[in-house]
């Protein structure tokens, strides 16, 4: 009976030095691995953040253009799109009476290749609508307009981040 009590007491003495050293070693290995992976996580976050920002800019510009172009049509007074082009001029319908439509001021969207910007001109005033534009194409397709917009930026690690948007806009007028 005395032998079994001694064996029981040995098991209850606590954690030994070897166990503590092993636990510290495992913890240190995990900590070093996490610290080594941290720069990669930060780089991935930064690139994803840049890509999301680039996509948001492209989507905002594309949506605004589509909304305005949708309100025009080949019968508006300043319509100018007969072949694929990087410039489009049109008027938005701002109202109508029984027989005639009322057209707003001419609006022109154009691609400035030198500055790589999308420019919106209306009423003689030009506004840079979006930057980092690589290409912009308007293509007439009957009573529709195909728009293709490419925006490109560079990440902090010199990776090229590209956003491509294209869509067919159904003209209402």
Instruction: Please report the pLDDT score of residue 6 as a whole number.
Output: 63
Mean pLDDT score of the chain: 86
- What pLDDT, on the 0 to 100 scale, is given for residue 73? 81
Task: Look at residue 10 and tell me if it is in a domain.
Answer: no
The pLDDT of residue 120: 94
Q: Can you list the pairs that 8-16 forms with residues at least 24 positions away whose Cβ atoms lie under 8 Å?
A: none
- Quick check: 78 and 92 in contact, CB under 8 A? no
**The predicted structure's pLDDT at residue 22:** 92
Q: Is residue 133 part of a domain?
A: yes
Model confidence at 10, pLDDT cuts 50, 70, 90, reads low
CB-side neighbour CA atoms (13 Å) of 173: 23
44 part of a folded domain: yes
**Range(s) of the domain holding residue 148:** 38-170
Lowest-confidence region among 29-38, 137-146, 148-157: 148-157
With DSSP H G I counted as helix, E B as strand and the rest as coil, what are the percentages for the chain, rounded to 5? 35, 40, 25
Q: What's the number of domains the chain is made of?
A: 1
Assigned domain for 26 exists: no
Distance CA 98, CA 110 (A): 34
Q: What is the pLDDT of residue 11?
A: 57
Give a yes or no: residue 95 inside a domain.
Answer: yes
For residue 87, which of 105, 104, 69, 71 has the smallest C-alpha distance?
69
What tokens appear for 76 in the block? 């508006």
Is there a domain that residue 5 lies in?
no
Q: Answer yes or no: is pLDDT of 3 > 70.
A: no
Q: Is residue 13 domain-resident? A: no
Report the C-alpha gap between 119 and 43 in whole angstroms.
Answer: 32
What mean pLDDT comes out for the span 84-88?
Answer: 92
* pLDDT band of 93, cuts 50, 70, 90: confident
Query: Around Cβ 131, how many Cβ atoms within 10 Å?
Result: 14
Tell me the C-alpha distance between 154 and 134, whole Å.
Answer: 12
Q: Is residue 110 part of a domain?
A: yes
Predicted confidence at residue 7, as pLDDT, reads 62
Confidence band, pLDDT 50/70/90 cuts, at residue 49: confident
Element (H, E) at 99: none
Q: Which residues of 135-165 are buried (b: 16+ CB within 10 A; e: fewer)?
A: ebebbbeeeebebbbbbbbebeeeeebebeb
């Amino acid at each position: 009976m005395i032998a079994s009590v001694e064996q029981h007491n040995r098991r209850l003495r606590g954690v030994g030095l070897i166990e503590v050293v092993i636990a510290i070693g495992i913890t240190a290995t995990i900590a070093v691995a996490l610290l080594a992976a941290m720069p990669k996580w930060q780089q991935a976050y930064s690139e994803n953040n840049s890509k999301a920002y680039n996509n948001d800019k492209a989507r905002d510009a594309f949506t605004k253009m589509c909304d305005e172009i949708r309100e025009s049509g080949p019968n508006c007074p300043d319509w100018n799109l007969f072949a694929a082009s990087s410039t489009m001029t049109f008027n938005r319908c701002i109202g109508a009476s029984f027989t005639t439509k009322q057209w707003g001021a001419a609006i022109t969207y154009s691609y400035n290749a030198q500055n790589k910007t999308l420019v919106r001109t209306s009423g003689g005033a030009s506004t840079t609508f979006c930057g980092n534009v690589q290409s912009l194409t308007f293509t007439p397709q009957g009573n529709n307009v195909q728009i293709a917009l490419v925006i490109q930026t560079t990440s902090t690690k010199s990776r090229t981040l590209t956003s491509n948007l294209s869509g067919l806009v159904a003209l209402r007028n």
